[in-house]
Amino acid sequence: MLFSYNGKRRMNPLKPFLRWKTIAAVLVIGMAAAAAFIFTGAKTAGSQRSILGFETSSAYAAGKIDAEITVSPFARKLAVAVPSFVAATQDAGAQDSATNGTQLMRSILDFTGFFDILNPRAFIDNLSSGVTEDRINFRNWKGIGAEYMVTGSVENQGGILYVELRFMDAINGKLVVGKRYKSQPDQIRRVVRKFASEILWALYQTRGCFDTRIAFVSTSSGNKEIYVCDFDGYNPVAITRGSKIAVSPSWSHNGQHIAYTSYRQGGAHIYIQGAQKAGGVMGTVVKFQGTNITPAWHPAQFVLAACMSFSGDPEIYSLTGDGKIIKRLTNNWGIDVSPSWSPDGSQVAFVSNRSGGPQVYILTVATGQVSRLTYRGRYNTAPAWSPKGGTIAYSGLEAGEFNIYIVSASGGEPLQLTRDAGNNESPTWSPDGMLLAYMTDREGPDRVYVMTALGSDERRLLSMPGEQSEPDWSPNLGDF
Amino acid sequence: MQRKFWIGCMIVALVFGLALNMGCAKKAVKSGPEETATPSEGTEGIPAEEQPAAVDEAAAALEAERAAFLSENVLFAFDSAVLDETAQGVLRRKAEWLQKGQDAVVIEGHCDERGSNEYNLALGDRRANAAKKFLVDLGIDAARLETVSYGEEKPLDPGHDEAAWAQNRRAQFVLK
């Protein structure tokens, strides 16, 4: 009752959005004002050299990580100390931002699964001599096991915060990357995210997923609606209302649109709407006779694949972003559903029951040729093709429980990622292919969880009323 | 001012009274057939009452058939849209009822909660269409039969055991 849409309550779900919209506008303006620049020419050169030095001397000489199962930064985490950021001015604004910034940096680095964040209680040095590499006694940090450290200082100049962040190699006592940000006091989260992205770039030449969002289904309002939150579960907001049932959200390649299935007009139809618009303006509605479900956007074009049953049984088609059929992709009596594009758009993984139970198949778009991918178990569904290469995640049923598996797109033995924790379904990849979000009922109700691509560091993405399911990870949006 | 207040009170009372009356009247109509089916001692032996009772009985029978048509679901095995003997029997009864009238119906395809939500939407589509095809083969006009799949989104029984799942794997009929 509390979360149901009816009568006068109908307006309520919009309110948080309106507020969010205002905040978003402020943030955009703030971003335009926020200028980040690398310290000085000399220091830039120094930091570049140290990055190179790091790369060749590091145990992680493999350095560049893709989503291959065998090469992973999760195999051994880097020990990072994040001592409390220093407030350079004695005002509440600087001090709060320093405190919050420290916590955010610790949690955001932890979120990646790449780092072991050292417990601050083990610290024997409080950086009283300074936060720069020439003033830090690195022995005090090496001594407690730190391989890297992040230091920060926050200065308030007339209501504007100047935030300096440094990522340092504690073993060699060198600056890896340092940045100075100009920021509004309420934007410390964005500053921390931007710098975390710099850290990952310096280490692994990936920008990470700090500028991404996750769409999912939630019953918080009483029925299933589509929501969107930041990559780390912050700022959940409903982007649909009055859907009756809304499921299967999918981000377009540029993050501009979200497609989903809704029963707003009675039947199962596919809706395409702006990712930033809530409740109001709708784009195309795909409503052929019968069932119109499981939209999946092409990785580079305003094109989607979807399942429609107007021919008499559920088949997969490719469609333009404004709902016109381009091509029928499957041709088989029975169920063909849940398409997921390969990163180059040449192939589509999908689910079919052509051999009895549901299994994952791969279709070559140009030729229509289909090959079966999964053989283990009798019920394998929800394929998600990694945006970074040859791995496909899916959920499979074995011994009465659904778990997440990954398998090479060229076939072979799957690797089980979740186990002994209820049912785990609907995997979706972060755009860098490093993390997977999925739904699980291990707590009882359905929740969205995140783990690394190797199945480690499982944790709940967010807490909100009702049940959450069917996550879909956005591409990099370039907006932190 | 005071007069207006009292007039207002009277109007409110009147509206209330009417609403109550209507409520009572509705109830009387609904419970009518039951009363005549098992007449009380007081009404027994009054011949004038017999004829309307017969009409009511016919109406009650029709109503019962209609209720059976709407409440009896076509059930399926896990991950199957195949109509077994029982399911075919249910559909034959549905065809008989449909042949008596001109009602248009929506056949909803449903699944139990296990498995992927997406696959279950497709499976629900197959179940609804399997039921539709069977009825069309029995001579029912396809234009009267609309299908919609709800997958696992609308369970009949919210339980999490085989008893609940068996009830939820269904094709359910709704009048349009």
Query: pLDDT tens, A288-298?
Result: 999 999 999 99
The per-residue pLDDT of chain A, averaged, comes to 86
Same domain assignment for residues A370 and A320? yes
Same domain assignment for residues A255 and A379? yes
In a domain, A448, yes or no: yes
* Segment B146-168 mean pLDDT: 96
In a domain, B96, yes or no: yes
Which CATH number characterizes residue B91's domain?
3.30.1330.60
pLDDT band at B57 (very low <50, low <70, confident <90, very high): confident
Same domain assignment for residues A168 and A294? no
Same domain assignment for residues A244 and A372? yes
In a domain, A479, yes or no: no
At CA B80, angle to CA B78 and CA B82, rounded to 5? Answer: 135
Which CATH number characterizes residue A112's domain?
3.40.50.10070
Same domain assignment for residues A303 and A393? yes
Same domain assignment for residues A187 and A262? no
What is the tens place of the pLDDT at every residue in B25-43?
A: 433 333 333 333 444 444 4
* Segment A349-371 mean pLDDT: 97
What is the tens place of the pLDDT at every residue in A312-354?
A: 999 999 999 999 999 999 999 999 999 999 999 999 999 999 9
Which CATH number characterizes residue A412's domain?
2.120.10.30
In a domain, B48, yes or no: no
pLDDT band at B56 (very low <50, low <70, confident <90, very high): confident
**Which distant-in-sequence residues (6+ apart) come within 8 Å of B148 by Cβ?**
A266, A267, A268, A291, B106, B107, B108, B109, B128
Residue A405 has pLDDT above 50, yes or no: yes
pLDDT of residue B6: 58
Contact A245 B149 (CB under 8 A): no
Chain B nearest-CA distance from A354, in A, is: 12
In a domain, A469, yes or no: yes
Going by C-alpha positions, the residue among B168, B164, B129, B175 that lies closest to residue B148 is: B129
Same domain assignment for residues A264 and A154? no
Residue A130 has pLDDT above 70, yes or no: yes
Chain B nearest-CA distance from A381, in A, is: 6
Split into its structural domains, chain A has a count of 2
Chain A nearest-CA distance from B9, in A, is: 27
Question: What share of chain A has pLDDT > 90, as a percent?
Answer: 76
* Segment A135-140 mean pLDDT: 93
* Residues from chain A contacting residue B150 (CB–CB below 8 Å): 245, 263
Residue of A nearest to B132 (CA): A312
Contact B118 A381 (CB under 8 A): yes
Rounded Cα distance, A135 and A147, in Å: 17
Same domain assignment for residues A264 and A404? yes
Determine the residue type at B107: I
pLDDT of residue A127: 87
In a domain, A23, yes or no: no
pLDDT band at B156 (very low <50, low <70, confident <90, very high): very high
In a domain, B140, yes or no: yes
Cα Rg for chain A, rounded, in angstroms? 24
Two tokens at A427?
């995997």
Beta bridge partners of A168: A149, A175
Same domain assignment for residues A334 and A393? yes
Residue B13 has pLDDT above 90, yes or no: no
Two tokens at A351?
């689910």
Q: What is the pTM of this model?
A: 0.80
SS3 label, residue B131: helix
Q: Is the dihedral of CA A35, A41, A46, A50 positive or negative?
A: positive
Angle between helix B85-100 and helix B117-137 axes, rounded to 10 deg? 60
What is the tens place of the pLDDT at every residue in B74-89?
A: 999 999 999 999 999 9
Least confident of A78-87, A96-105, B7-16: B7-16
Same domain assignment for residues A460 and A410? yes
In a domain, B10, yes or no: no
Question: What share of chain A has pLDDT > 70, as a percent?
Answer: 83
Angle between helix A41-57 and helix A188-204 axes, rounded to 10 deg? 50
Determine the residue type at A201: W
Comparing A306 with B22, which gets the higher pLDDT?
A306
Least confident of A95-104, A156-165, A188-197, B59-68: B59-68
Least confident of A225-229, A358-362, A397-401, B22-26: B22-26
In a domain, A262, yes or no: yes
pLDDT band at B51 (very low <50, low <70, confident <90, very high): low
Within 13 A of A296's CA, how many CA atoms are on the CB side?
29
In a domain, A410, yes or no: yes
Same domain assignment for residues A446 and A362? yes
In a domain, B110, yes or no: yes
Contact B125 A382 (CB under 8 A): no
Residue of A nearest to B114 (CA): A402
pLDDT of residue A17: 38
Chain B nearest-CA distance from A426, in A, is: 7
In a domain, B148, yes or no: yes
**Which distant-in-sequence residues (6+ apart) come within 8 Å of A95 by Cβ?**
A87, A154
pLDDT of residue A144: 95
**Domain that includes residue B143, residue range:** 73-175
What is the tens place of the pLDDT at every residue in A222-249?
A: 999 999 999 999 999 999 988 999 999 9
pLDDT of residue A126: 85
Rounded Cα distance, A59 and A463, in Å: 38
The answer to whether B37 touches B57, Cβ cutoff 8 Å, is yes
Comparing A260 with B53, which gets the higher pLDDT?
A260
Interface list for chain B against chain A, based on CB atoms closer than 8 Å: 79, 114-119, 121-126, 129, 147-150, 153
pLDDT band at B3 (very low <50, low <70, confident <90, very high): low
Chain B nearest-CA distance from A338, in A, is: 7
**Domain that includes residue A44, residue range:** 34-204
Interface list for chain A against chain B, based on CB atoms closer than 8 Å: 224, 245, 247-248, 261, 263, 266-268, 290-291, 293-294, 307, 309, 312-314, 334-338, 351, 353, 357-358, 379, 381-382, 395, 397, 402, 425-426, 469-470
In a domain, B22, yes or no: no
* Residues from chain B contacting residue A248 (CB–CB below 8 Å): 117-118
Q: Is the dihedral of CA B10, B11, B15, B18 positive or negative?
A: positive
Contact A425 B116 (CB under 8 A): yes
Residue A401 has pLDDT above 60, yes or no: yes
Within 13 A of A194's CA, how many CA atoms are on the CB side?
23
In a domain, B18, yes or no: no
User: In 10 A of CB A79, how many CB atoms?
Assistant: 17
The answer to whether A38 touches A178, Cβ cutoff 8 Å, is yes
Residue A442 has pLDDT above 90, yes or no: yes
Contact B150 A353 (CB under 8 A): no
* Segment A5-28 mean pLDDT: 40
ipTM over 0.90: no
The per-residue pLDDT of chain B, averaged, comes to 81
pLDDT of residue A57: 28
HEC profile of chain A: CCCCCCHHHHHCCHHHHHHHHHHHHHHHHHHHHCCEEECCHHHHHHHHHHHHHHHHHCCCCCCCCCCCCCCCCCCCCEEEECCCCEECCCCHHHHHHHHHHHHHHHHHHHHHCCEEECCHHHCCCCCCCCCCCCCCCCHHHHCCCCCEEEEEEEEEECCEEEEEEEEEECCCCEEEEEEEEEECHHHHHHHHHHHHHHHHHHHHCCCCCCCCEEEEEECCCCCEEEEEEECCCCCCEECCCCCCEEEEEEECCCCCEEEEEECCCCCCEEEEEECCCCCCCCCCEECCCCCEEEEEECCCCCEEEEEECCCCCCEEEEEECCCCEEEECCCCCCCEEEEEECCCCCEEEEEECCCCCCEEEEEECCCCCEEECCCCCCCEEEEEECCCCCEEEEEEEECCEEEEEEEECCCCCCEECCCCCCCEEEEEECCCCCEEEEEECCCCCCEEEEEECCCCCCEECCCCCCCEEEEEECCCCCCC
User: Given the DSSP bridges, would you call strands A359-364 and A370-372 parallel, antiparallel or unpaired?
Assistant: antiparallel
What is the tens place of the pLDDT at every residue in A10-20?
A: 333 333 334 44
Residue B4 has pLDDT above 50, yes or no: yes
* Segment A444-473 mean pLDDT: 96
Same domain assignment for residues A103 and A191? yes
B109 φ, ψ (degrees, to nearest 5)? -100, 130
Split into its structural domains, chain B has a count of 1
